[in-house]
Amino acid sequence: MYGKTGPGTVSYERAFFRRVILSLLFFILITTVISAEEFELSSKSAILMEYETGEILYKKEPDLELPPASMSKIMTMLLVMEAIAEGKAKLDDKLVVSEYAASMGGSQIWLEPGEEMSLEDMMKAIAIVSANDACVAVAEYLYGTEELFVKRMYERARELGLKNTYFYNTNGLPPDNPDVQGNYSSAYDLAVMARELIKHRKVLEWTSTWQDYLRDGKSVLNNTNRLVRFYNGADGLKTGYTEEARYGVTATAERNGVRFISVVMGNDNSQDRFEEAGKLLSYGFGLFQGLKIASEGELVETIKIPNGKEEEARALIENELIIPVRRDRKDEVSKVIELDDRIKAPKKKGEKIGTMKIYRGNLLIKEVDIVIDRDVEKASFFKIFARIISYQINSITGLYQKD
């Protein structure tokens, strides 16, 4: 019965209020704006990266090679999302679980040999509860064997320029044989992987979910990342723990169009990893703000289309553009409009006709498409001819008037 106490026990009410107080203290701590000089991280390795540019704002032993544990799954998820983007797989594909995939230990969703589950549900299980068995299942589905998938993980790391990463398996579990090299990575490499993964925004829908269900509600998925619930703007990304690796987290948060990625590795307890990842994120948000450069549908200029049935159309910004800038360096930002040299009909509404590029100093930090606001059909030969004659007459008339 709730509230019953005895030797070595705590009442339900006291335990509840204790959790509430600890959660509030945790939230206050990680949302406080601090300076880099105040950092005293217990993490063996840590980094803070601004998402848009990849600028490093804080680092502590960023290239130290350490076991990443389940943070290895950032690369596993990246390969799956890239396969989907390339049309090699779909989220509603049905996967049949092998006996080997079902044999994985550690964090899992208890897959059974022969069980069928959609690729999307497998990805939810990886993203939310760090399911080791689901990692192997998706690897086998895409590449036939986990070994071939892991080979591609290593190749992709090299394509991203990562020099301190090695993969033994898809999920970060340590090898059974202590003489075999297991997965290793670094805070910097994990931040780069995370930055690449976040380009696939569907992943953030899963990693920001605090609780979900599989198997028609029979299986509960509780997110392993506490920041998602307690840190303003946090929407991912991946926790990790093994006895060898200790505690780590690759975290990301976005506020007002500004996103940061923080990585901490080698913490002695779970609470520390979340507090320290939160400190890093708060430091970033204290330094930067989102600067709105353009609104969706904003007019750039009216353009001429000499061979169009309609001679004029409007060039518009396709999407809202917000960029991260340091609060004391707004004047470093500049924008450049680049419209196509010769815009000719026919054109379809929404078709790209140029680009707006945003620079911070000489560094290109973001760009957005400029599109045409309407369909423009090609004018007939006779209409174009009449238009040319009209131009000539107006030109001559203008000369006489000037004389």
For residues 195-220, average pLDDT: 96
Indicate the pTM of the whole model: 0.82
Q: Annotated catalytic residue: which of 43, 98, 107, 130?
A: 130
CA dist., res. 204 & res. 225, Å (int): 13
Active site residue 130: yes
- Tell me what pLDDT residue 385 has: 72
Write the pLDDT tens digit of every residue in 171-199.
999 999 989 999 999 999 999 999 999 99
Tell me which of 3.40.710.10, 2.40.128.20, 1.10.10.410, 3.30.1280.10 is the CATH number of domain 32-290. Answer: 3.40.710.10
Q: Annotated catalytic residue: which of 43, 70, 98, 185?
A: 70
Q: Annotated catalytic residue: which of 43, 44, 72, 73?
A: 73
Write the pLDDT tens digit of every residue in 233-242.
999 999 999 9
Is pLDDT above 60 for 402?
Answer: no
With b meaning 16 or more CB within 10 Å and e meaning fewer, what string describes 198-210? beeeebbebbbbe
- Tell me what pLDDT residue 397 has: 63
Q: 3-class DSSP state for residue 92?
A: coil
Where, residue-wise, is CATH 3.40.710.10 in the chain?
Answer: 32-290
- Tell me what pLDDT residue 57 has: 95
CA dist., res. 183 & res. 337, Å (int): 46
Q: 3-class DSSP state for residue 121?
A: helix
Is pLDDT above 90 for 63?
Answer: yes
Tell me which of 2.60.410.10, 3.40.190.10, 3.10.20.30, 2.60.40.420 is the CATH number of domain 295-402. Answer: 2.60.410.10
151: number of Cβ within 10 Å: 13
What would the two tokens of residue 237 be?
A: 């990304």
Among 218-227, 286-295, 297-306, 385-394, whose mean pLDDT is lowest? 385-394
Q: In terms of C-beta density within 10 A (0-12 exposed, 13-18 middle, 19 or more buried), how is residue 249 classed?
A: buried
Half-sphere exposure of 264 (CA within 13 A, CB side): 25
Where, residue-wise, is CATH 2.60.410.10 in the chain?
Answer: 295-402
What would the two tokens of residue 107 be?
A: 């964090």
Active site residue 73: yes
